[in-house]
Each structure stands twice: as structure tokens, then as C-alpha cells.
Amino acid sequence: MLDIDFIRDSLLGKTFISAIYHFDEIDSTNNYAKKLKDEDNVLVLAEYQSGGKGRFDRKWDSEKGMNLTFTIKKKFNINANQNSYINFYFSYFLYEAIWTFLEENAKNISTDLLKIKWPNDILFDSKKISGILIESVLNKNDYMIGIGLNVNQKKFNDKFIAASLINYTNDKVDLNALLIKIINVLDKNLHLLDEAKFDKIYELWKKSTDMIGKNAEFVIDLEI
Ligand code: BTN
């Protein structure tokens, strides 16, 4: 169970997050965020999603209370043809927060095994630990950035090649501290989401992917 009072005390007034909604159970945090018409800089958190969504109409399954499933709703004044930088931004800085967490907490592993897989999956040793679903209401520049991060769940359906952070640490991971770390990393770097700095975001993202040295045809297939 998340400690919502602690999360509010740690984030409100201290980061860009100005409102937090927390649900024991909800269909999807992205769906809820989309319905918040006039609110910006919102964080929607769920212990369990009955209809968690992945990219390409896939499902995102996550055991209750074990992982992080949340959506950030935020306005970005970005041209529609530049919105892939929102993807590069969130996938890179989520990657960076996880990388730091592993450096601080993981035992006998190399953080070199952490990679971003095009466009925004985060894999450790080729196993998926996190996925991002970005949806938008373009005429309003409203973006719903939905993040699923496997943290304390130990077993996954065999058809998925997935893992959790706990597979690489000795102890159960504190979900509150990890969430606060992720939001702080996103908050600290938000100034990079500016046209003049897009190249920097792209370079950071590219350096962290598993694409280097491979040929790939990049098709912009985000759900944005
Ligand atoms: C993917 O890998 O296909 C993207 C998965 C995104 C899952 C997150 S969990 C929080 C948010 N709410 C959803 O319904 N989906 C995203």
C-alpha cells in the first residue's frame, strides 16, 4: 500500500505535481487522468488497475500493491510533429531514475544491462521491467504519460519476458521512496523539454537504448 500522506508531503509544493489522486482499484490511471478536463500537473496512482492498458491495445497486468502504476497528466506546448520528444524525455529520465536506484540498491549486477528498447520499454538483461503509454488530447496539448514499473512482483505470466526490481535487490523495495525519486528526477530535468534542448534529450535517450550498432527503421508508432 502506498503511503499517500507521505507522498503528498514529499511532492506537493516541492515539484511540478499540484494534485494527487490515489485509488485502491480503478480501470486505468490513464483513463482517469484523461477525464480530468481542466486540471494540469496531476499524478494519478493506483494500487490495482482492472483494465490496465499497454501500447497497441495490449493489457498491462500488475499484482495489487506490488508495483508502481501511475499517470502524469501534463500540458506541453509542443508542436504535434515534435511530440516524440515527450517520449524521449519520459523514457530517458525514468531510465535514469531506475539506473540510480539499481546503483544504490542492487547487489552484484551491472547497471550496463539496463536499456531502453525502442520506443520506451525499459529492460534489464533483456527482461521488461517498465512500459510507458503516452496518450494525448492534441488540441489541448494535454498529455497522459502512463507508467507501469514492476517493483516487488516476483512471478509473471510465462508468455511475458518480464522481471521486477526486487529480482536484483535483496530486500523488498519501498514503493513510496521509489515513486518520489522518479518524480524528482522528472521535475529536475523538465527545463530540457524546450525546443532548443531537444537534441540533448534525444542524445541521452539514444545512448541508453539497445539500438546502437543495429539497423532500425524508425516508425513513429507512439499512441500519442
Ligand atoms: C506498454 O508497455 O505497452 C505500456 C504499459 C503502460 C502501463 C501503464 S500502468 C499506468 C498507466 N495506466 C494504464 O492503463 N497504462 C499505463
**What is the pLDDT at residue 80?**
83
pLDDT of residue 213: 52
Scored b (16 or more CB within 10 A) or e, 95-114 reads bbbbbebbeebbeeeeeeeb
Q: Find the 29 Cα to ligand 1 centroid distance in Å.
A: 8
Between CA 23 and CA 147, with CA 193 as vertex, the angle to 5 degrees is 25
Q: Which amino acid is at 107?
A: K
| 54 close to ligand 1 (CB < 6 Angstrom) | yes
Residue to mutate, 30, 31, 55, ligand 1, most ligand atoms under 8 Å from C-beta: 30
pLDDT at 6: 98
pLDDT value of residue 37: 86
Atom of ligand 1 minimally distant from the CA of 55: 3
Q: Provide CB contacts within 8 A for 147, sequence distance 6+.
A: 68, 69, 70, 71, 72, 90, 94, 130, 131, 132, 182
Closest ligand 1 atom to residue 147 Cα is 8
Question: What is the atom index within ligand 1 of the atom nearest the CA of 28?
Answer: 14
| Structure confidence at residue 159 (pLDDT) | 78
As a whole number of angstroms, the distance between CA 58 and CA 121 comes to 14
pLDDT of residue 170: 80
69 CB within 6 A, ligand 1: yes
Q: What is the pLDDT of residue 157?
A: 85
The finding on whether 84 has its CB within 6 A of some atom of ligand 1 is no
Against a cut of 0.75, is the pTM above it? Answer: yes
Q: Rounded to the nearest whole angstrom, what is the distance from the C-alpha of residue 221 to the centroid of ligand 1?
A: 15
**pLDDT over 70 percentage in the chain:** 94
Cα–Cα distance measured from residue 86 to residue 88, given in angstroms and rounded to the nearest whole number: 5
34: nearest Cα among 15, 50, 48, 53: 53
- The x, y and z cell numbers of residue 144, run together, are 497522459
Domain 4-212, what fold? Answer: BirA Bifunctional Protein; domain 2 (3.30.930)
Task: Specify whether the CB–CB gap between 182 and 165 falls below 8 A.
Answer: no
Q: Which tens digits make up the pLDDT trace of 23-49? A: 999 999 999 999 998 899 999 999 999
Radius of gyration of the chain (CA): 16
Dist CA 95 CA 92 (whole Å): 5
Give the residue from 115, 120, 126 showing the smallest Cα distance to 212. 115
pLDDT of 147 = 98
Ligand 1 centroid, distance to 123 Cα (angstroms): 15
Strand partners, 73: 42, 144
**Spans of all domains in the chain:** 4-212
Q: Ligand 1 pocket, 91 CB below 6 A?
A: no
Sole residue written with cell 482492472: 50
- Tens digit of each residue's pLDDT (9 = 90 or more) over 120-159: 999 999 999 999 999 998 778 999 999 999 999 999 987 7
Residue 49 in contact with ligand 1 by CB distance below 6 A: yes
Running along the chain, 224 residues long, what does each successive block of 10 average in pLDDT?
97 98 98 95 98 95 98 93 94 98 94 94 96 89 96 89 94 97 98 93 94 50 49
Mean per-residue pLDDT over the chain, rounded: 92
For ligand 1, atom 11: residue with the closest CA: 146
Residue nearest to atom 15 of ligand 1 (CA): 53
Q: DSSP class of residue 93?
A: H
Which value, to the nearest 10 degrees, does the dihedral of the CA atoms of residues 29, 32, 33, 36 take?
-160
